[in-house]
Amino acid sequence: MSVETIVLSNDLKELERLGVFLQGLAPAMGLDDQTLFQLNLVCDELVTNIILYGHPPEERYMHTIRIDIGAAVDGWELCLTDRGVPFNPLLQASPRVDLSVDERGIGGLGIHFVRQVMDEIRYERIHDENVLMMTKRRIQEEGIS
């Protein structure tokens, strides 16, 4: 599996560079438009959360976020790595999407979205780093296996 890597500064301005990076990989990785759109949203959401909440404000611009993406046999694998505070998004309770916005409160929908879009998600804390590994399977066209 060929893996491409981008290392982002811990700054919201880097989201544009992330989008350009993913767009540039699409042809070589065989990403269709829908999957590219979904992966871009997933990465945007997770990177934004790391930037805003992963470090104390006084350390915010001192860190980086690494994203590795590779094509697998049946789809793509992504790995996000950062040295932020330990945070396992898989331990977060699912939001009550049956409630109104006023009743539900703010937050939690981004991680819910990631869980809905990605087919597999694993988290580990390795050597003081948050490592979030995700798999997105290729969309199977009807009648094709």
- DSSP secondary structure string for all residues of 1-57: --EEEEEEESSTTHHHHHHHHHHHHHHHHT--HHHHHHHHHHHHHHHHHHHHHSS-G
Across the chain, what does the average pLDDT equal? 88
What's the pLDDT band for 71 if we cut at 50, 70, 90? Answer: very high
User: Residue 99 above 60 pLDDT?
Assistant: no
Residue-wise pLDDT for 3-62, tens only, equals 999 999 999 999 999 999 999 999 999 999 999 999 999 999 999 999 999 998 888 778
Report the distance separating Cα 7 and Cα 63, nearest Å.
Answer: 10
d(Cα 4, Cα 110) in Å, to the nearest integer? 25
Count helices and strands in the chain by DSSP H and E runs = 4, 5
pLDDT at 145: 45
Q: Which of 19-33, 86-100, 116-130 has the lowest mean pLDDT?
A: 86-100
Structural domains of the chain ordered from first start: 3-137 (3.30.565.10)
* pLDDT score recorded for residue 139: 77
Residue 56's pLDDT is 87
Tokens of 58: 């006084």
pTM recorded for the entire structure: 0.86
